[in-house]
Structure 1
């Protein structure tokens, strides 16, 4: 395990939760990995109480599950469950984008463009560890103007369950060029205010991502 981070703000539970979430999403803890409370508490130099509370929060997000005789483990998803999450993503995200585009300000578009530039740089640098989080941030900034906070919250939770798989898929499939191209096409349609085109491109993007991911996972699990 990595060295204990320095905690300076927020509650200890918040900080342990954030750090564990980031490590799960980055793939440091693979699916099925047992998260022992005493070991985590020792690593962060905290009591087991905030660790237990952090794991319970991650359980609510779907990243961790509690099993008899094992305790907390990194959640494992079946192929059918992953496919279902992408179907829900397409329905909700397309609806969010449809609401967001008419409300996008120049500042909103600049924010999306800025994260897209960082995303492009990470692809060129081959910085796999950042792809999943940057992808989530790109989509999140697209949808924020929608003024649909509850739907956004659901999308973020679904993202927590798929980002670790999608990140690995991009690295293994070699489809970073396609993903990057599709992101730029979606952004340009948003910038032009073309709602139907942008929503259509987003739907195709999510479908392509799901198909590529499912193919990779089926191969890996065989």
Structure 2
């Protein structure tokens, strides 16, 4: 691809860089749901061959962002209530379990990092810079769960967070109230963990995830009713 590589990413493949670029286009809304992804045009835009582009599309299909339809090509995945319900249900089950193990082991350095993320998150929410909402949300959850010492479960949760990134940003963009509530719940999560109130933190995390799911389901249903 023509864009310069960021420091520390010299070994990233062309396919991985193409996946990053496409992921950004989808997450930002530049490529809307249902949009056809023409491989020739994208390969030309990125200055690469079709082989790494196909690899990138397969990667994004695994993340739930793209659907590859036999004999038709690739399209941006549409919002699905069933998918949202399943992904957030799994997060609601696994993340509180990890938090119960991780929270008592969080260090002063962890809490300093969480405070930094909260400050950045607040700034980006208030500035309506939606491109970083998913990234900061994932970083916050990652640090909160990082001391659980459950690498396989963490790997599953990391995938779930990546697959729900688009949904998380959509949920936050629905209203100022959604942003305010997410900000307050994240701050309270960190406060509860810092004060050793682990059970309360795990319960809040479950409610936090369920609230995001409910917001999204209502939005999709309302949009479908408006179109009918």
TM-score normalized by the length of structure 1: 0.91
Q: Moved runs in structure 1, 4+ residues, more than 6 A? A: none
Q: Residue 197 in 1 paired to residue 195 in 2?
A: no
Distance, in Å, in 1 between the alignment partners of 2:146 and 2:159 is: 15
Structure 1 residue 4 displacement after superposition:
5.3
Alignment partner, residue 213 of structure 1: 216
Give unmatched runs, 5+ long, in structure 2: none
Deviations 1:89-131 (A, max 9, x none): 1001111111111221111111111111100111121212222
Moved more, 50-59 or 4-13: 4-13
Moved more, 180-189 or 93-102: 93-102
Alignment partner, residue 41 of structure 1: 43
CA distance change for structure 1 residues 101 and 164 in 2, over 3 Å: closer, same or farther? same
Alignment partner, residue 58 of structure 1: 60
For 1:57-206, list aligned pairs within 5 A.
57-174=59-176, 175-206=178-209
CA distance change for structure 1 residues 7 and 42 in 2, over 3 Å: closer, same or farther? farther
Structure 1 residue 32 displacement after superposition:
1.5
TM-score normalized by the length of structure 2: 0.89
RMSD: 1.8
| Native 8 Å contact 1:62 1:157 kept in 2 | no
Q: Secondary structure at the match of 1:146?
A: coil
Distance, in Å, in 2 between the alignment partners of 1:173 and 1:27 is: 17
Q: Secondary structure at the match of 2:37?
A: coil
Deviations 1:1-26 (A, max 9, x none): xx953347222122112222232222
| Native 8 Å contact 2:64 2:77 kept in 1 | yes
Distance, in Å, in 2 between the alignment partners of 1:136 and 1:211 is: 19
Distance, in Å, in 2 between the alignment partners of 1:90 and 1:48 is: 39
Given the alignment, which residue of 4, 7, 23 partners 1:6? 4
Distance, in Å, in 2 between the alignment partners of 1:219 and 1:41 is: 37
Distance, in Å, in 2 between the alignment partners of 1:80 and 1:90 is: 15
Give unmatched runs, 5+ long, in structure 1: none
Distance, in Å, in 2 between the alignment partners of 1:30 and 1:4 is: 24
- Number of aligned residue pairs: give it: 220
Moved more, 75-84 or 98-107: 75-84
CA distance change for structure 1 residues 206 and 93 in 2, over 3 Å: closer, same or farther? same
